[in-house]
Amino acid sequence: MKRKARRINPPKQNGRSKGSENSTSVTGAFGFNVPPALVDVFIYFDQKDAGEVAQKFVDEQEKWGWKARSGKPIRNWKVFASDWIFNYKQERKFSLRTSKFCSIEI
């Protein structure tokens, strides 16, 4: 019988963190700290085979103030980034497919 994965909720911070300042927090690993460190974004995009557009993503999000198009603040930047990467790859496939200079199959 398969078990369900347990959901990990980020710890509530009441002004003080529960651990040393140098240790990696649970929220940092799962994408809850917004805005993220630039290095984390580059690593995430590189893992998703889209490392060349990580800076473009960060620039666009800083322009929007790390908010969604609806104006609500982003809670998890990794979820937002995965949607952004998917849309980027779809646009790239479409432009290659409709280009008269491209003859390769995707």
pLDDT in tens, 53-70: 999 999 999 999 999 888
Distance of alpha carbon 95 from alpha carbon 87, whole angstroms: 12
- In this prediction, residue 105 carries a pLDDT of 58
- In this prediction, residue 97 carries a pLDDT of 84
- In this prediction, residue 7 carries a pLDDT of 66
- In this prediction, residue 43 carries a pLDDT of 93
Side-chain-side CA neighbours of 10 within 13 Å: the count stands at: 16
Distance of alpha carbon 65 from alpha carbon 19, whole angstroms: 29
pLDDT < 70: residue spans in the chain = 1-29, 102-106
Report helix angle 77-98 to 38-47, nearest 10: 50
Evaluate if pTM is beyond 0.85. no
